Amino acid sequence: MSVVGAYFRLARAGWILVREGVVAALPGDQLDGMPRFGWRVAKLFSRRRSARRDRPERLAQAVNRLGPSYVKLGQFLATRPDVVGHDLARDLASLQDRMDTFPSALSRAAVEGSLGLPVEELYISFGEPVAAASIAQVHDAQVATATGNERVAVKVIRPGVRRRFNNDLESFFLAAHLQERLMPATRRLKPVKVAETLAQVTKIEMDLRLEAAAISEMHENTARDPGFRVPTVDWQRTGRDVVTLEWIDGTKMSNVEALREAGHDLEALARTLIQSFLRHTLRDGFFHADMHPGNLFVEGDGTIVAVDFGIMGRIGHKERHFLAEILYGFITRDFRRVAEVHFEAGYVPAHHDVAAFAQALRAIGEPIHGQSAETISMARLLTLLFEVTELFDMQTRPELLMLQKTMVVVEGVARTLDPHFNMWKAAEPVVSEWIAGNLGPRAMLSDARQGVSALLALAKQAPELAARGERLSRELDVMAERGLRFDPETAEAIGRAEARHTRSGRIALWVIALALAAIAWQLS
């Protein structure tokens, strides 16, 4: 029945997308055959009032009807333009994660259930919610400290959200499997793998202890950063369903006029924001992946404070090396080196020609040098770069796509603060510092130390590896002589699973047929 429920929920989601005009807003006139016929039918069933809205508004309306799981799905797919296309990814990025608040009594129950103490013992005061999103809402509260009462922000998980997400994730996996089976051309996008990544991301985001750990890690990383900081975590009042943070008094970066009236230097704020983001990315390999202006505050002294660490990005040393070298290569017009970096990192298959790839990169880089620095977008450069690498069979790199998406957002915020913002001038000190420390003599010594350490670790494991190799060799010899065999229990289990799958699929198809018939009868 779980499969039947997934089919029902998927059919409902499709119907809502049709009714709100989302499907009709897609470029269906470029389709052929049955897909084009389906698009034309979807246009007939769209609400008339949806025709007066643009596509982002239609998406927002549909997602609000579908619920919090689909808000997160939209935000996640906004980081995967390789899957949904750049235009749709841009529309999805505009989705606002704002939901209605739920009663404070439910928040209190969640706090007490998670921390095991009455709210009155944990907090001096526990106010009404001040903001709500798809997964949690925030309350204004106070706690007693050695220096007096302190104002805090208490983030509490939304009741029933895990069960709702688990149900909807079944539908997402079903859609991904159907896409792989029925649309072979899309298999290279790995839709099932995308669904698995979404499941992992939401699982982490719905355990507030993990968000608190991300805040704590980034707090340590940025402790000495100029003009940027993150809140502190109250670990005594943090659990699976609740996290308590330092309250931030400041102006939201989305309110540019208020920042100007407060006397802040907007050009300096834009420069600090970009440099902080690049510092986190290159130095730490750990960055806030949802840095829209609603998640950024500016304190009275001009310090930028980031909040809402549910979505974080990580990139390894190899990816950081790759990013720094391509940025530096484009700045110095060394397109051959940029191409070689792609091949050295293993991103572009070795059977391609380095010179041909360098030629394609030149087509991106040369127009940049004909523009003023104020008009050059680093985010746009990365977008064009990924478009070109697709022609050379570069495999999808989710961590780089998340980095690109975040850079688009951060650069957009910086240009909102300063329309003439010089992205390259602001980035140069951070990129140059990282390159000096990681691509020069110091980097060679560091790599040599890491190589020696790896060799020593391998030497320690040599006896165990030799024993494993001997066992594997014996098992291969036996398999070569007797062939691969299943024991009777395994064969019987496979048969039962196959029969169950066939039966469930048949039932689901009948249920969908009945549901569509009921919808058609109601419309008539």
* Sheet containing 136-145: order of strands: 125-132, 136-145, 148-157, 242-246, 233-234
Q: How far apart are CA 168 and CA 8, in angstroms?
A: 11
* Rounded (10°) angle between helices 423-438 and 441-482: 70
Distance CA 379, CA 392 (A): 21
Beta-carbon contacts of 400 under 8 Å, excluding residues fewer than 6 positions away, are 315, 319, 323, 386
Buried (b) or exposed (e) across 453-486, using 16+ Cβ within 10 A?
Answer: eeeeeeeeeeeeeeeeeeeeeeeeeeeeeeeeee
Query: How many DSSP H helices and E strands does the chain contain?
Result: 21, 11
Catalytic residue among 82, 168, 290, 308: 290
The dihedral built from the CA positions of residue 409, 411, 414 and 416, taken in this order, carries a sign that is: negative
Do 341 and 325 meet the contact criterion of CB atoms below 8 Å apart? yes
Tell me the two tokens of residue 130: 């001040």
290 is annotated as an active-site residue:
yes
Question: Residues 504, 506, 512, 518: what is their CA dihedral angle, to the nearest 10 degrees?
Answer: -120
In sequence order, the β-bridge partners of residue 288 are 312
Residue at token pair 């809502």: 16
In the chain, the amino acid numbered 52 is: R
Give phi and psi for 334, each to the nearest 5. Answer: -95, 75
Catalytic (active-site) positions: 290
